[in-house]
Structure 1
Amino acid sequence: MDRRDFLQQAAAGAMAVSFPAVPDWFADKRMGIVVHSYWSRWNSKVDSQKYPAFTNAIQLLDHCHQLGAGGVQVIVGGWSSDFAKKVRDVREKYGLYLEGSIGLPKKADEVAKFEQDVINAREAGAQVLRTVCSTGRRYETYHSPAAFEELKKNALTMLQLAEPVLRKHKVKLGVENHKDWRAPDLVNLLKQVNSEWIGVTLDFGNSMALLEDPMEVVETLSPYVFSTHVKDMAVEEYPDGFLLSEVPMGKGILDLPKMVDLCRKHNPTGTFSLEMITRDPLEIPCVTNAYWETMGSVPGSDLARMLRTVRQHKYAGGLPRVAKLSNDEKLALEEENIVACLNYSKDKLGMK
């Protein structure tokens, strides 16, 4: 039995002590916010007095504290040591958790920069980082089985380069299921790396784009969960497949209480971070030839199940669309959706 399998089979309490100790604030029950929830507002060029742009982690921490959130997950690349200390001071003042979003080293000469980013993130108080292994969505970026196999090879190399740095600084890294990995693919990658420092940032809805049942994804990946992207999803038919949207929690089709409970079972000290992206629906062209260029091993029954789900769950009034809204209207709706999700997390998920 290797270390990964041992950790997976251990009881939740034993798992907790197998990992590095975490401070009390890290187990805060309140829902946090992923920077991508501010799709329109983060680094916005819009001149809005009511919704001014967030351009750094401190501004995001300030705002999320005002909303009553428990913490943030934010991009940490390129921070200076001085800025990391300022972030730490603000985070400690508010009693919030901090998680970093970080890029992986693609080759050996990028490891030093990666390590500096890890050092700065840890200085600011982050003990968990989130990353992705791909440059885009699987069905849009990779157009042959060979191209997707190259992604798998490169992902393993990047994680192997990152692992000694994570182990040295005692920082955990969650690989997101980012519309690239189906859940068994991601588990296989983690088993190849075989490190207690590398696990999953579990996105509750992304894998629907790869025709996976969202509850099965959580059941498969929750034993490896370090951090989360919590969201609710809605769907709608379109000629080439289906449309997929984040919607305010409780209005979509996901069983969020059960998903949260599964994550808590496997990682009692883990955080829950909202990723509610207010944007037009994503097109999932699952009945086109191009979509299947890297999906040949996926059974037709998964496609049938997903199309059946789409037809059975019509979103009242149609999926939300924002393209025709003014800039201020987009920013206002984004904030409204985030606040609605935080309220749901308090009322229905016990995150107070």
Structure 2
Amino acid sequence: MDRRDFIQKTTVGAVALSLPVFPDYAASHRMGIVVHSYGFRWNSKADSPAYPAFTDALSLLEHCHQIGAGGVQVVVNGWSDDFAKKVRTRREKLDMYLEGSIGLPKKPEDVSKFEQDVRNAKEAGAHILRTVCSSGRRYEAYHSAGAFQDLRKNALASLKLAEPVLRRHKVKLGVENHKDWRAPELVGLLKELNSEWIGVTLDFGNSMALLEEPMTVVETLAPYVVSTHVKDMAVEEYANGFLLSEVPLGKGISDVPKMIDLCKKYNPAVTFSLEMITRDPLEIPCLTNDYWSTLSSVPGAELAQMLRLVRQHAYPSGLPRTTPLSAENKLAAEENNILECLAYSRDKLRLT
């Protein structure tokens, strides 16, 4: 199949978009792993024989293959032509998919480096790339409506610089909902770009930080999905709002099987990449004034709905925390969480 057409259904109308299907891009049905799942182990300085550091895409590929993952999504930045070819050779032998994570050009003089990274990613076998538009979480990085509007303007400019490169190399880019865009805002950005080469890297849990119910986010963004960050979320009240944590699949509040099915409905070729980040809970200070400096248009009913959800779904024995753990135990907890998620994906999601 060379191309397939589907209708993107949104609350403001219907937009047709053609998604190219790449015959040489063998998408695996097995769950893959996002490099950020290995926040402790990636370039780790810990001297751990049990959990040696991953220093590049090759070492990540090897380990993920050993534990039964179907592929990886990994940062592509400054790869040499020779390294890209090594990644392709090993990836093909292991029969795994590869997706890249890439930074956007901020100004015209950045385009040549961006294009080289795209070229190397494609040489390694990645036809799907993921990016983010913000350097930080919305409620931490932006403190006025004007500052957030500047983010939108700059993001649009960067994506317009990137689009001709993506089109020329026939590589798709997914913009992540990265605790920056609420789902309708991201849809608006994509409609303004109006490019078949730019869609969404759909994160299953991030947007709770912006008071969006997870299933509503997936329903809104799934028509645009080109890649995914699969996760399950748990919550807990605290004085200024609520705490938010990734937890092993099946242990949180998200209906992960339904989310998977929705993504498949709109893009049958989409891969599912686990982003199980083992860390202390994130503070979502939604009861502070500063939190609302860029979110004044969000109805109070959505705040009430989220706080009600938090109170109804207290995590048994409290959210997990990593600060008290030794370096070795952090590495062990990270690996165990990933293995538990892979087992769930095989046994419950039938991603085999």
Which category of TM-score, normalised to the shorter sequence, fits these structures?
Answer: over 0.9
Q: CA-to-partner distance for each residue in 1:287-346, whole Å, 9 max, x for gaps?
A: 000101101000000100000000000100000001010000000000000000000001
1:48 matched to 2:48? The reply is: yes
CA distance, structure 2, for counterparts of residue 25 and residue 76 of structure 1: 17
RMSD: 1.5
1:185 matched to 2:179? The reply is: no
Q: Which runs of at least 4 in structure 1 moved beyond 6 Å after TM superposition?
A: none
CA drift of 1:99 comes to: 0.1
Match of 2:111 in 1: 111
CA distance, structure 1, for counterparts of residue 197 and residue 163 of structure 2: 7
Query: SS of 1:196's equivalent?
Result: coil
CA drift of 1:116 comes to: 0.1
CA distance, structure 2, for counterparts of residue 162 and residue 41 of structure 1: 31
Match of 1:320 in 2: 320
CA drift of 1:22 comes to: 2.2
Q: CA-to-partner distance for each residue in 1:82-132, whole Å, 9 max, x for gaps?
A: 000000001000000000000000000000000000000000000000000
Query: SS of 2:278's equivalent?
Result: coil
CA drift of 1:28 comes to: 1.2
Match of 1:268 in 2: 268
CA drift of 1:17 comes to: 11
TM norm structure 2: 0.95
What amino acid maps onto 2:319 in structure 1?
A: L
Q: CA-to-partner distance for each residue in 1:158-186, whole Å, 9 max, x for gaps?
A: 00000000000000000000000000000
Contact persistence 1:26–1:271 (CA under 8 A):
no
Distance 1:7 1:119, change over 3 A: farther
Match of 1:197 in 2: 197
Unaligned runs of 5+ in 2: 10-14
Contact persistence 2:7–2:17 (CA under 8 A):
no
Match of 1:254 in 2: 254
Q: CA-to-partner distance for each residue in 1:252-303, whole Å, 9 max, x for gaps?
A: 0000010000000000001000000000000000000010110100000010
Match of 1:233 in 2: 233
Contact persistence 1:16–1:267 (CA under 8 A):
no
What amino acid maps onto 1:339 in structure 2?
A: L
CA drift of 1:47 comes to: 1.0
Match of 1:57 in 2: 57
Query: SS of 1:340's equivalent?
Result: helix
CA distance, structure 1, for counterparts of residue 245 and residue 297 of structure 2: 26
Match of 1:302 in 2: 302
5 Å-filtered alignment, 1:88-107, equals 88-107=88-107
Match of 2:12 in 1: none
Match of 1:338 in 2: 338
What amino acid maps onto 1:56 in structure 2?
A: D
What amino acid maps onto 1:209 in structure 2?
A: A
CA distance, structure 2, for counterparts of residue 242 and residue 272 of structure 1: 28
Length, aligned pairs only: 343
Distance 1:168 1:347, change over 3 A: same
Unaligned runs of 5+ in 1: 10-14
Distance 1:16 1:150, change over 3 A: closer
CA distance, structure 2, for counterparts of residue 8 and residue 145 of structure 1: 29
